Amino acid sequence: MRLVVGAPLRLFNTLGRELQEFAPLEPGRARVYTCGPTVYAYQHIGNLRAYVFADTLRRVLEWKGYEVVQVINITDVGHLTSDMDEGEDKLELASQREERSVWEIAAHYTDVFLEDLEKLRMRPPTLWAKATDHVEEMIAFARVLEEKGYAYELEAGLYFDTAKVPDYGKLALLDLEGLQEGARVAPTAGKRNPTDFALWRASPRDAVRLMEWDSPWGKGAPGWHLECSAMSMRYLGERFDVHTGGVDHIPIHHTNELAQSEAYLGRPWVPVWLHNEFINLRRAKISKSKGGTLLLSDLEQQGFHPLAYRFLLLGSHYRSQTEFTWQGLEGARVAQRRLLERLRERVPTRGDPLTYEEAATRLEGSALAYPEQLDEAVSADFNTAQALAVLTQLSRDSELPVDDLDVLASASEALLAVGLLDLAPEKLDLPAGELLLEADEVDRLLGEREEARRRGDFAAADQIRDRLDELGVEVRDTSEGTVWSVRAADAGPAREDHL
Ligand SMILES: [Zn+2]
């Protein structure tokens, strides 16, 4: 058994909505499952917060001495356009849209996702689990549920009967009486309860599905929720410690995972559920042609190092809804650059990131208690903003011995991974396009241009277009209307051709 050190880790458990002290099922070992992406499109920077949070969780656990086993899934089949099992498979739609095979789609978006995580210095999990590699396990899982009487078969496939689970919805605190099926899609014929969901989706008789497998219920594909239950148990054991994901997973995906897993086991499943809040991108979209999303590569094209984004994320609590703005990112970069400059000035050579024990040993006898301060911050439900504040404050303290500052920086890097040991401050600025324009401002100018064109003043309209062009915004008139995108500095055309 490993030695676990530092303050007790207190975390906010969505199940029960309270702060709890972390107590793993197995002493010294933490088993964690993180809901991964559906690889049918690029992950925007808001999506990436979930993985920076999962990485922070892992770093904090390892810093305290836990052996961490972490699994993240890659969903490459089964996630429909509605989380409620209605609509079409996201991968199949993307395949039609991009005229590439589902396998090419999955491979492409998985690669970009993994590159983004690497740029953000996320350490790879113990295991990536890909849904299409585990269909056998999913079928076996659904068989057990059927044998136990939790499932019923319809023409649309095998469905889970949520009425058989007395505490269904406990994670989301769902008001079942008030629940209605979404009005946008027609409910599946024969479903017993609005909340029932597909374990197995039967292939339509009159159409060929791009991805389908044989099963006891005929040809078809697994349901999205089933994937995570089957794959997490396969690698982490029937019960494990922590399940993480974005808050959007609470009402349907995680609610259904929990219900089917506890039905399968006949006892409680994962005790701790951690959910990160959204990053709101509404005010910062830079390209309408990309559906209003903002990618990590967009930040790079605008001259921001990916670690400046990580620094920004760590500056707010993972459970707070945060608005992304370019000014906010610039503010994070300035703070990070000053911090790196102060560290470089005072501690020109650096070592490797330290564990809690190593940091504490090296600072033994020191009057100040930096590792404790850092540890207390991250142990309080991952208060990374506080940890950054401790570090920033101490880096300004000219009385602090250089050796101590060095240890402090090394320890902080182990927890925060924002380039304290190896990133030169000037590297935070990448070569970029000329200008940062808020989307609102571009929209306003385009509105003026539209107005000018309506009244026939084409010279004025062209003038606005030229001005935007000078500011690095490319405007194109298409059959669907006017679209615009921010031109990369030297990266050639943007990726909009893929979307
Ligand atoms: Zn999941």
Distance CA 475, CA 465 (A): 7
Tell me the CA–centroid distance for residue 66 and ligand 1, in Å: 24
Minimal CA–CA distance to 251: which of 182, 319, 183, 173? 173
The predicted model scores a pTM of 0.83
Three-class secondary structure of residue 447 per DSSP = helix
Report residue 472 as tokens: 């690095």
Q: Are the CB atoms for 30 and 242 separated by under 8 Å?
A: yes
Q: At 408, which helix (H) or strand (E)?
A: helix 402-416
Q: Are the CB atoms for 408 and 346 separated by under 8 Å?
A: no
Tell me the CA–centroid distance for residue 20 and ligand 1, in Å: 23
Tell me the CA–centroid distance for residue 225 and ligand 1, in Å: 6
Tell me the CA–centroid distance for residue 36 and ligand 1, in Å: 7
Tell me the CA–centroid distance for residue 248 and ligand 1, in Å: 11
Three-class secondary structure of residue 160 per DSSP = strand
The predicted pLDDT at position 288 comes to: 45
111: exposed, middle or buried (C-beta count within 10 Å: 0-12, 13-18, 19+)?
exposed
Tell me the CA–centroid distance for residue 243 and ligand 1, in Å: 9
Q: Are the CB atoms for 202 and 219 separated by under 8 Å?
A: yes
Q: Which residues sit opposite 158 in a β-bridge?
A: 153, 200
Tell me the CA–centroid distance for residue 244 and ligand 1, in Å: 9
Minimal CA–CA distance to 279: which of 34, 14, 52, 15? 52
pLDDT tens digits, 329-345: 999 999 999 999 999 99
Tell me the CA–centroid distance for residue 37 and ligand 1, in Å: 9
Residue 200: φ, ψ to 5°: -135, 130
Residue 211: φ, ψ to 5°: -130, 115
Taking the chain, what is the end-to-end CA distance rounded to the nearest angstrom? 50
Stated length of the chain: 499
Tell me the CA–centroid distance for residue 253 and ligand 1, in Å: 6
Tell me the CA–centroid distance for residue 210 and ligand 1, in Å: 22
Tell me the CA–centroid distance for residue 410 and ligand 1, in Å: 34
Distance CA 449, CA 64 (A): 58
Tell me the CA–centroid distance for residue 317 and ligand 1, in Å: 22
The predicted pLDDT at position 437 comes to: 59
String of DSSP letters for 62-92: HHTT-EEEEEEEEB-S--EEETTTEEEEHHH
Tell me the CA–centroid distance for residue 228 and ligand 1, in Å: 5
The predicted pLDDT at position 95 comes to: 83
Tell me the CA–centroid distance for residue 103 and ligand 1, in Å: 20
Tell me the CA–centroid distance for residue 341 and ligand 1, in Å: 41
Q: Which residues sit opposite 228 in a β-bridge?
A: none
Tell me the CA–centroid distance for residue 204 and ligand 1, in Å: 25
Residue 221: φ, ψ to 5°: -140, 155
349 to each of 192, 337, 345, 399, 402, how far by Cα in Å?
66, 17, 10, 19, 11
Tell me the CA–centroid distance for residue 41 and ligand 1, in Å: 17
Tell me the CA–centroid distance for residue 188 and ligand 1, in Å: 22
Q: Look-up: residue for tokens 């975390």?
A: 11
DSSP state for residue 126 in the 8-state scheme: S
pLDDT tens digits, 99-113: 888 888 889 999 999
Tell me the CA–centroid distance for residue 412 and ligand 1, in Å: 30
Pairing label, strands 242-246, 29-34 = parallel
Neighbours of 471 (CB within 10 A): 17
The predicted pLDDT at position 209 comes to: 77
Angle at which helix 306-314 crosses helix 326-346, to 10 degrees, equals 100
pLDDT, averaged per 10 consecutive residues of the chain (499 residues), comes to 81 96 96 94 92 97 95 86 72 82 88 96 96 96 98 95 95 72 61 93 82 93 94 97 96 96 98 96 61 82 93 97 92 95 86 79 72 92 96 91 88 93 89 58 84 88 81 70 62 32
Distance CA 412, CA 418 (A): 9
Tell me the CA–centroid distance for residue 167 and ligand 1, in Å: 20
Tell me the CA–centroid distance for residue 429 and ligand 1, in Å: 36
Tell me the CA–centroid distance for residue 226 and ligand 1, in Å: 8
Tell me the CA–centroid distance for residue 10 and ligand 1, in Å: 24
Tell me the CA–centroid distance for residue 254 and ligand 1, in Å: 7
